[in-house]
Amino acid sequence: MHQSVLTDQQAHFLRDEKEALAGFQLALAEFDLPREALDSLQKAILQLDELFLIVVAGEFNAGKSALINALLGQKVLAEGATPTTSRVTLVKWGEQAAEQVVDENFAIYTYPLPLLKELNIVDTPGTNAIIRHHERLTDEFVPRSDLVLFITSADHPLTESERQFLERILTWGKKVVFVLNKVDIFEDDSALQEVRDFILKHTAKILGDQPQLYPVSAKLAQRAQSEPDPEQRARLRSASRLDDLEQFVSATLDDTTRLQLKFNNPLGVAEHLGDQAGRSLAAQAEALDEDKQTATALETVITEYERELHNELPPRLAEVENILHRLEQRGLDFFDSTMRLTNVQNLVRGDKVRAQFEKQVLADVPQQIEDQVQRLIDWLVQKDLHEWQQVMSYLQRRRALNLDHMVGESYAPRESRRRELIDTVGKTVQTIVESYDRDKEASELAASVEAAVAQTALLEVGAVGLGALVTIAVLSSTLDITGILAASTLAILGFFVIPFKRKQAKDRFKEKMLSLRTKLLSSLTTQFSNESENAIARLKDGVAPYTRYVRSERERIDKAENTLVRLRQNISELRARNQAVVVK
């Protein structure tokens, strides 16, 4: 036979199709397709490795192995007078001659013959084999064969075991061609014709129609292959009658419709799996839409929370600053009304001046500041709890959708992971909300604020309370106006000293108040900003596993959809090329 059944263009197309389908198979492994679906593509790809399959059957000693060697043009299989094939043997291409025994009934034999890259041959045990279960294995190859060559021997044609075997494989509707081997034993054509008529008559009864029959001599064909003399080789070749059989086999395999179907079959399987993958992706995308909406709602809640904290925190802190501004103004007014020449007698009594300052200026400012800070704390804590409650409500609604299915319904691994993640995150958030202790959170936040204020070294004192810190800072200002001069000095120099001291005291008081406002506001701003950022970070961390999952799934689906578009385009291009290359 020829070294190749295919043209160069067809052989090139076959290589491209195998490569494309291998990539398709690898890409589809990332999709949630059933294992059996992927296996079907693997089998379809393997069919391209055995693009054409011929099953050779017949009684042992009919010369099956000899005929296979003659058709291949080389002695690939062992031959002998005894049953040389005790198991079903698949002959295919390999880099070296080797036999792989799969089990006691099946073996794979590889041989480095180019023709075997396109054509695989199954050599079967004799139809009269003692071990009857060989026939079961033969049946596995007959259904996908392109041609069954049924070999019968000229010295005992069409035996009972051969007849029974033919009846068995008829159900597959495969094309069966008869080969009458060993015709070299006939002395004249009349003897050959007698045997031919016998075979055709009885096979027509079995098959329902008269089959094609090719008389050959595998022995003479093999002798011709090894004959060095060209004329003698030609005579032996002609006497073997093998040319007619070879031409028929080549024409059968080279049939345009058959070849087109063979190239198209794996493409059809791939196309079907692509459609299946597309439907799976569409279902995943639809299921993910609910998650996208939930994740978007959660991210909106957090973004809005962040915006509200950013916008509302400064005005609330400004209230503290306003309290200190009002205190400062009262202090300056106090200095103007107290540090006067007409009030010299009272100025020398520092304890009285301090008492007046504390009553008229300081008043309830420390308590106002503590109250305002506490209100800010309560607002922040309540805000935090409210956001967690919103997050919980969204996740509870999403979890409810997961529960809205029949008990016992099964899901793909990816879907199961999604449901488990939603359930886990939802339960975590619910636990946080249910265990949220507002009083404890407020108390801990107040303590951290107080500690932070104390650490700013307002007066280098310990954490003795926010109001106490403010009181100490403010009252220290009165030292500038009490005991500044002895009474005798004031009596003599009061007219000159008091205005100067009053200005000096006011300037120092303003400096102290500026320092107090700056440090206190800076400390409060830093602390509440940190607490706000921490609250947002906790909220983000709480839902991060879910939102990250939704983003990654959306990216995965988008990538898969793009991959599927590309794969489908490749399949369409291969189909178009197939149409072109099979027309010679």
CATH number for the domain spanning 57: value is 3.40.50.300
**C-alpha to C-alpha distance for 566 and 377, rounded to whole angstroms:** 57
Residues 18 and 162 in one domain: yes
Range of the domain at 156: 8-273
Q: Give residue 125's region: left, alpha or beta (phi > 0; psi -120 to 50).
A: beta
Task: With respect to residue 564, please indicate whether it lies within any of the assigned structural domains.
Answer: no
Q: Which two tokens stand for residue 449?
A: 């604020």
| Domain termination residue (choose one: 216, 245, 273) | 273
Residues 455, 458, 464, 469, Cα dihedral to 10°: -150
What DSSP string runs through 520-580? Answer: HHHHHHHHHHHHHHHHHHHHHHHHHHHHHHHHHHHHHHHHHHHHHHHHHHHHHHHHHHHHH
Task: With respect to residue 573, please indicate whether it lies within any of the assigned structural domains.
Answer: no
Residues 298 and 252 in one domain: no
Q: How many CA atoms lie within 13 A of 197 on its CB side?
A: 6
DSSP state, 185?
A: G
Number of folded domains that form the chain = 2
**C-alpha to C-alpha distance for 490 and 324, rounded to whole angstroms:** 32
**C-alpha to C-alpha distance for 354 and 350, rounded to whole angstroms:** 6
Give φ, ψ of 364 to 5 degrees: -105, 25
Task: With respect to residue 577, please indicate whether it lies within any of the assigned structural domains.
Answer: no
Separation of CA 390 from chain center: 31
Task: With respect to residue 558, please indicate whether it lies within any of the assigned structural domains.
Answer: no
Residues 91 and 115 in one domain: yes
Residues 180 and 317 in one domain: no
| Domain termination residue (choose one: 239, 273, 307) | 273
Task: With respect to residue 554, please indicate whether it lies within any of the assigned structural domains.
Answer: no
**C-alpha to C-alpha distance for 50 and 68, rounded to whole angstroms:** 16
* Strand pairing report for 119-123 and 52-58: parallel
Residues 241 and 307 in one domain: no
Alpha helix (H) residue ranges in 436-486: 438-454, 466-475
pLDDT of 215? 93
Task: With respect to residue 571, please indicate whether it lies within any of the assigned structural domains.
Answer: no
| Domain termination residue (choose one: 273, 298, 324) | 273
Give φ, ψ of 176 to 5 degrees: -110, 125
Q: Which two tokens stand for residue 227?
A: 């004959």
Residues 88 and 181 in one domain: yes
Residues 267 and 292 in one domain: no
pLDDT of 145? 79
Ranges of residues in the chain with a pLDDT under 70 are 1-5, 50, 80-86, 128-139, 171-172, 254-255, 339-351, 402-414, 450, 452-469, 473-498, 583-584
Residues 351 and 500 in one domain: yes
Residues 392, 393, 395, 401, Cα dihedral to 10°: 150
Would you call 255 helix, strand, or coil by DSSP? Answer: coil
> By the 8 A CB rule, do 581 and 256 touch?
no
DSSP state, 362?
A: I
212, with CB counted inside 10 A (0-12, 13-18, 19+), is middle
Would you call 100 helix, strand, or coil by DSSP? Answer: strand
Task: With respect to residue 583, please indicate whether it lies within any of the assigned structural domains.
Answer: no
Give φ, ψ of 63 to 5 degrees: 95, 30
Would you call 40 helix, strand, or coil by DSSP? Answer: helix
DSSP state, 82?
A: S
Residues 139 and 243 in one domain: yes
Q: Which two tokens stand for residue 86?
A: 């005790």
pLDDT of 492? 46
pLDDT of 306? 92
Residues 262 and 292 in one domain: no
pLDDT of 271? 86
Residues 261 and 384 in one domain: no
pLDDT of 358? 79
Task: With respect to residue 147, please indicate whether it lies within any of the assigned structural domains.
Answer: yes
Which pairs from 332-337 meet CB under 8 Å and 24+ separation?
332/506, 332/509, 332/510, 334/360, 334/361, 335/481, 335/502, 335/505, 335/506, 335/509, 336/502, 336/506
Residues 253 and 397 in one domain: no
